[in-house]
């Protein structure tokens, strides 16, 4: 594996919780000591379908939170899963006590400021789940954390009550006005930057949302770290199905693997206008 995944382990994880929250499932896994090297932005690759399944490829899921249980030398990992495809539906159907074939932690993590900063966290749909764990880390480092969550409609918002304790402020935007403020999640960002209350932006969600945030951040010269949502077939950099056009330090556009060089990337370097247009 790449040096980025040097801490990754192939383990058998146990499902210790599976709770339906709106349209999503909050799945809690007992994963042992790998939580010691797991950070916000990392993801997990899970073998789905069971031993006789035709689904031979692993499925990648963002890690929402981790929890240390030092008294037992154990740790847990939380995933927020939408049961859309056959693999995610299978995972959401797993009962407590089930064993899962897991590789984790994988990918790049969010960079944490070395000094207290004003952080704006922006999430779209259930893609916002990793931001709550990130908020906890930022708060522990003395940062101010403001969060904006958005979706097309209220049922697609993932905003656990306990998450509000991790942020200084939380606002919700829905495009149909069914919850929070009517509008897009990107609407308030320019004003907040102009007010001088944003030093760095962190985001998770649909690619179109990430591209829109990057345009705003680039124009204002604000750092934007985004966790890209690109389909990953293997999760460990072998299959090359998740590549994205990214500009390097020499101004050249290279096709980088979002499972290895990402999922967290500098939004200013991703060539958003070429995503989906460059042959993979």
> Domains in the chain, start-ordered, CATH in brackets?
3-106 (2.40.30.10), 118-274 (3.40.50.80)
Six token digits for residue 194: 């102009």
Give kind and range of the element (H or E) at residue 104: strand 99-106
Backbone angles phi, psi at 67, to 5 degrees: -140, 135
Instruction: Return mean pLDDT, the chain.
Output: 91
Using a pLDDT cut of 90, give the percent of the chain over it.
74
Strand order in the sheet with 181-182: 181-182, 169-174, 144-151, 118-124, 200-204, 223-227, 264-266
Rounded to whole angstroms, how far apart are CA atoms 234 and 272?
23
Backbone angles phi, psi at 172, to 5 degrees: -120, 135
Q: Is the pLDDT of residue 114 over 90?
A: yes
Is the link from the previous residue into 105 a cis peptide, with omega within 30 of 0?
A: yes
Q: Which pLDDT does position 74 carry in this prediction?
A: 80
Q: Is the pLDDT of residue 2 over 70?
A: no
Rounded to whole angstroms, how far apart are CA atoms 211 and 220?
14
Six token digits for residue 239: 């299959």
Q: Which pLDDT does position 278 carry in this prediction?
A: 56
What is the DSSP secondary structure assignment for residue 105, as one 8-state letter? Answer: E
Q: Which of 88-97, 141-150, 180-189, 268-277 has the lowest mean pLDDT?
A: 268-277
Q: Is the pLDDT of residue 76 over 70?
A: yes
Q: Which pLDDT does position 72 carry in this prediction?
A: 61
Q: Which pLDDT does position 69 carry in this prediction?
A: 67
3-class SS string, 20-72:
EECCEEEEEEECHHHHHHCCCCCEEEEECCCCCCCCCCCEEEEEEEEEEECCC
Q: Please report which residue ranges of the chain form alpha helices under DSSP H.
A: 86-92, 129-140, 189-194, 207-220
Q: Is the pLDDT of residue 234 over 80?
A: no
Q: Is the pLDDT of residue 280 over 70?
A: no
Average pLDDT of the residues in 231-257:
88
Q: Is the pLDDT of residue 268 over 60?
A: yes
Q: What is the dihedral of CA 73, 109, 241, 47, to 10 degrees?
A: 10
Average pLDDT of the residues in 52-57:
82
Q: Which pLDDT does position 264 carry in this prediction?
A: 97
Rounded to whole angstroms, how far apart are CA atoms 80 and 130?
9
Q: Which pLDDT does position 71 carry in this prediction?
A: 59
Total count of residues recorded for the chain: 280
Average pLDDT of the residues in 70-84:
84
Q: Centre a 10 Å sphere on the Cβ of residue 112 and count the other Cβ atoms it contains.
A: 18
Q: Is the pLDDT of residue 1 over 80?
A: no
């Amino acid at each position: 594996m790449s040096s980025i995944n040097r801490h990754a382990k192939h383990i058998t994880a146990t499902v210790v919780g599976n709770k339906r929250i709106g349209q999503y499932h909050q799945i809690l896994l007992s994963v042992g000591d790998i939580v010691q090297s797991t950070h916000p932005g990392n993801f997990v690759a899970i073998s789905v379908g069971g031993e006789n399944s035709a689904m031979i490829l692993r499925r990648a899921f963002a890690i929402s939170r981790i929890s240390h249980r030092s008294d037992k030398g154990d740790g847990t990992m939380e995933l927020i899963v939408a049961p859309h495809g056959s693999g995610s539906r299978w995972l959401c159907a797993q009962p407590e006590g089930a064993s899962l074939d897991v590789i984790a932690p994988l990918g790049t993590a969010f960079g944490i400021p070395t000094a207290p900063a004003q952080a704006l966290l922006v999430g779209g749909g259930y893609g916002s789940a990793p931001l709550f764990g990130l908020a906890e880390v930022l708060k522990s480092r003395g940062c101010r954390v403001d969060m904006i969550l958005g979706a097309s409609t209220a049922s697609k918002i993932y905003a656990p009550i306990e998450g509000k304790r991790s942020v200084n402020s939380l606002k919700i935007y829905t495009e149909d006005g069914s919850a929070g403020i009517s509008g897009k999640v990107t609407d308030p960002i320019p004003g907040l930057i102009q007010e001088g209350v944003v030093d760095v932006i962190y985001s998770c969600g649909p690619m179109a949302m990430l591209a829109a945030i990057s345009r705003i951040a680039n124009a204002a010269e604000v750092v934007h770290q985004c966790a890209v949502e690109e389909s990953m077939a293997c999760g460990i950099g072998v299959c090359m199905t998740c590549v994205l056009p990214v500009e390097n330090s020499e101004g050249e556009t290279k096709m980088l693997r979002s499972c290895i060089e990402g999922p967290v990337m500098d939004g200013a370097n991703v060539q958003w206008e070429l995503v989906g247009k460059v042959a993979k």
